[in-house]
């Protein structure tokens, strides 16, 4: 069929077939022209339209106690074969190194002493990168172009030397984006945020070209800091140009020798780096285990500092609001109760939770489509940080476009700009997170994290299944992140999905269909049912059942509970999901 198809324009006169009494007819429908159609397609590729009012959910907590998600475990056979897989990789790697250092010495020059200079990387330090990561290096650092919105465009590449280097093919692939930290969908090139950023560029330029302590403080910094402080309910706040640098420079300014920091074992590298730089003593406690934390607090307070047993100058507990690899939230109510009882300082890293959790998003970088970090606290603490924090004294100040992006997105979330849009984004994110999480559990996958978390880890375990899963999803034009050791425990390799308000239900249905196919092919459906995927219960009953299950598990172990492994058909998952996510997930 030659020629192009276009929709007709419908008016009152053409609809009735009669001439109108008026000279100009009333138009009922006019199709978009080519330019408008392209603009809408671009807009929807960045932020999808809401398909139905039913595709929203207001995040809420039901019950009195904060529920800890139960983590499922695969059969021991899979854990055993995972260890064997790593053992085989390590043995083959050492064999290749043994012969390579003797017969292909040119390939190992950088690992040996050269003209009196010691190698920067020894063969042992470099072994994991060369012999394990390099095998699947094409799954990481995929270059992109354009806006990382609902869809993301990848620059296609190939390697001719076993992933040592890559060459661009000159083509691109548009994929569904399940990998970016764009929780509320503010990473857009159009709309109020982009318009405000463009205006700021014309007024302020691209940089303030100075640290805050010199001439790098503008009215944009003061306005943004006031907005953040009001948003999180603190007297004062300050902003930084880098999220990692925020944590790395914060701890040395607050704690030092004679101080103690109690850190969750899964805290981010930036927190651990800051704690090491501070000179304070650091002890870890099991992830989100409030009973273990209380036992540790009693011990360290009663014993005091090592050798001298003097009282600690300060004790600080460091946690994350939402853990980026686990999808779990910190038990904030229990932490606050412990803080009142034991009088320690509490540090909560909200890089992934600010703007993404709760009915109003009050629970920078990951939600606001920007970069940088912030600290919100009492005014005397912020004043101290302004004068002693290395990131403020020596670091580059946040740029005008970043500050305006944060400022505008915050105002949208609060309803000051485009009333209703911020609330809709929060409700869409909560719906999308619960819908995808419940669907994956019902299909039979082991999924970590709390119900409303926009971070959804799908456990893969075997190292060989990381590249296989990544490649199979890319074949279906879906971009995902796969994560393994050392970012996770050795046997807990996983795919991590980042849900956004920009996604539509159709996108998530496509994602579930792809995971169902790939999961069957790679044998990834390990779930026993203990952690969810069952029929829903009414409000309040799910938390009560979870509490009872946890008590049984603590006394008798996982084997004391028996469930039917959830292996729902895809059609049933899609048909039931919208209705069932309105109830507590189980």
- pLDDT above 70 as % of the chain: 86
Structural domain includes residue 366:
yes
Residue 561 in tokens: 């509970």
Q: Which residue has the higher pLDDT, 56 or 6?
A: 56
pLDDT value, residue 51: 92
Structural domain includes residue 78:
no
Same domain, 278 and 244: yes
Question: At which residue do the structure tokens 């993404």 appear?
Answer: 356
Q: Does the pLDDT of residue 552 top 80, yes or no?
A: no
Same domain, 482 and 576: yes
Q: Which residue has the higher pLDDT, 68 or 259?
A: 259
Structural domain includes residue 370:
yes
Structural domain includes residue 56:
no
Helical (H) or strand (E) element with 516: helix 505-522
Same domain, 511 and 543: yes
Same domain, 531 and 566: yes
Same domain, 253 and 390: yes
Boundary (domain end) residue, out of 387, 414, 441: 414
Same domain, 492 and 371: no
Structural domain includes residue 156:
no
Nearest of 147, 175, 146, 170 to residue 158 by alpha carbon: 170
Residue 101 in tokens: 């250092």
- pLDDT above 90 as % of the chain: 61
pLDDT value, residue 365: 44
Q: Does the pLDDT of residue 544 top 70, yes or no?
A: no
Boundary (domain end) residue, out of 414, 440, 472: 414
Structural domain includes residue 429:
yes
Same domain, 205 and 300: yes
Task: Say which range, 6-15, 304-313, 447-456, 524-533, has the weakest mean pLDDT.
Answer: 6-15
CATH number of the domain bearing residue 430: 3.90.1150.10
The number of distinct structural domains making up the chain is 3
Structural domain includes residue 218:
yes
Domain holding 119, by residue range, is 87-131
Nearest of 242, 481, 272 to residue 364 by alpha carbon: 242
- The overall pTM is greater than 0.85: yes
Same domain, 251 and 397: yes
Structural domain includes residue 178:
no
DSSP conformation class of 490: T
Same domain, 313 and 379: yes
CATH number of the domain bearing residue 358: 3.40.640.10
Same domain, 368 and 387: yes
Q: Does the pLDDT of residue 573 top 80, yes or no?
A: yes
Q: Does the pLDDT of residue 405 top 80, yes or no?
A: yes
The mean pLDDT of 50-62, rounded to a whole number, is: 86
pLDDT value, residue 563: 75
Q: To the nearest 10°, the Cα dihedral for 407, 251, 486, 554?
A: -100
Summarize pLDDT for 237-285 with one digit per residue, the tens. Answer: 999 988 888 999 999 999 999 999 999 999 999 999 999 999 999 999 9
CA–CA dist 281, 295 (Å, integer): 17
Same domain, 478 and 338: no
């Amino acid at each position: 069929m030659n020629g192009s198809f276009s929709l007709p324009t419908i008016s009152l006169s053409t609809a009735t077939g009669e001439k109108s009494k008026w000279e100009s007819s009333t138009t009922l429908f006019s199709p978009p022209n080519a330019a408008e159609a392209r603009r809408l397609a671009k807009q929807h590729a960045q932020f999808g339209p809401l398909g139905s009012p039913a595709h929203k959910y207001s995040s809420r907590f039901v019950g009195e106690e904060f529920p800890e998600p139960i983590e499922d475990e695969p059969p021991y056979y899979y854990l055993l074969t995972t260890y064997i897989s790593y053992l085989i990789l390590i043995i083959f790697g050492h064999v290749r190194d043994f012969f390579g250092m003797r017969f292909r010495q040119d390939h190992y020059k950088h690992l040996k002493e050269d003209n009196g200079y010691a190698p920067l990387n020894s063969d042992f330090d470099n072994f994991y990168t060369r012999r394990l990561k390099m095998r699947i290096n094409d799954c990481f650092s995929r270059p992109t172009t354009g806006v990382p919105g609902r869809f993301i465009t990848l620059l296609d590449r190939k390697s001719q030397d076993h992933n040592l280097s890559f060459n661009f093919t000159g083509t691109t692939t548009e994929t569904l984006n399940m990998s970016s930290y764009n929780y509320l969908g503010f990473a857009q090139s159009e709309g109020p945020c982009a318009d405000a950023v463009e205006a700021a560029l014309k007024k302020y330029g691209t940089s303030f070209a100075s640290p805050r302590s010199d001439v790098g403080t503008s009215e944009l910094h003061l306005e943004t800091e006031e907005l953040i402080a009001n948003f999180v309910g603190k007297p004062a706040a300050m902003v930084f140009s880098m999220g990692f640098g925020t944590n790395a420079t914060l701890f040395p300014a607050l704690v030092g020798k004679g101080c103690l920091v109690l850190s969750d074992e899964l805290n981010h590298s930036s927190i651990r780096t800051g704690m090491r730089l501070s000179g304070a003593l650091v002890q870890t406690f099991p992830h989100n285990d409030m009973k273990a934390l209380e036992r540790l607090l009693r011990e360290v307070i009663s014993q005091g500092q090592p050798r001298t047993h003097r009282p600690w100058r300060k004790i600080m507990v460091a946690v994350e609001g939402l853990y980026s690899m686990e999808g779990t939230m910190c038990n904030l109510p229990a932490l606050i109760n412990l803080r009142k009882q034991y009088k320690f300082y509490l540090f909560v890293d909200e890089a992934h939770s600010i703007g993404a959790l709760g009915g109003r998003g009050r629970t920078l970088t990951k939600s606001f489509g920007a970069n940088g970090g912030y600290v919100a606290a009492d005014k005397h603490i912020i004043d101290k940080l302004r004068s002693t924090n290395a990131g403020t004294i020596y670091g580059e100040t946040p740029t005008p476009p970043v500050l305006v992006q944060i400022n505008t997105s915050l105002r949208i979330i609060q309803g000051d700009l485009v009333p209703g849009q911020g609330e809709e984004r929060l409700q869409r994110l909560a719906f999308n997170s619960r819908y995808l999480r419940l669907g994956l559990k019902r299909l039979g996958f082991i999924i970590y994290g709390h119900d409303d978390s926009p971070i959804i880890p799908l456990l893969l375990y075997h190292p060989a299944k990381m590249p296989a899963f990544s490649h199979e999803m890319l074949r279906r034009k879906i971009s995902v992140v796969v994560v393994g050791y050392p970012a996770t425990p050795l046997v807990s390799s996983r795919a991590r999905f980042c849900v956004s308000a920009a996604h539509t239900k159709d996108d998530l249905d496509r994602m579930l269909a792809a995971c169902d196919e790939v999961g069957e092919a790679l044998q990834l459906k390990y779930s026993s049912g203990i952690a969810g995927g069952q029929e829903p219960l009414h409000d309040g009953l799910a938390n009560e059942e979870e509490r009872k299950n946890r008590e049984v598990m603590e006394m008798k172990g996982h084997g004391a509970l028996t469930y039917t492994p959830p292996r729902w058909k895809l059609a049933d998952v899609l048909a039931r999901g919208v209705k069932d996510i309105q109830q507590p997930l189980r």
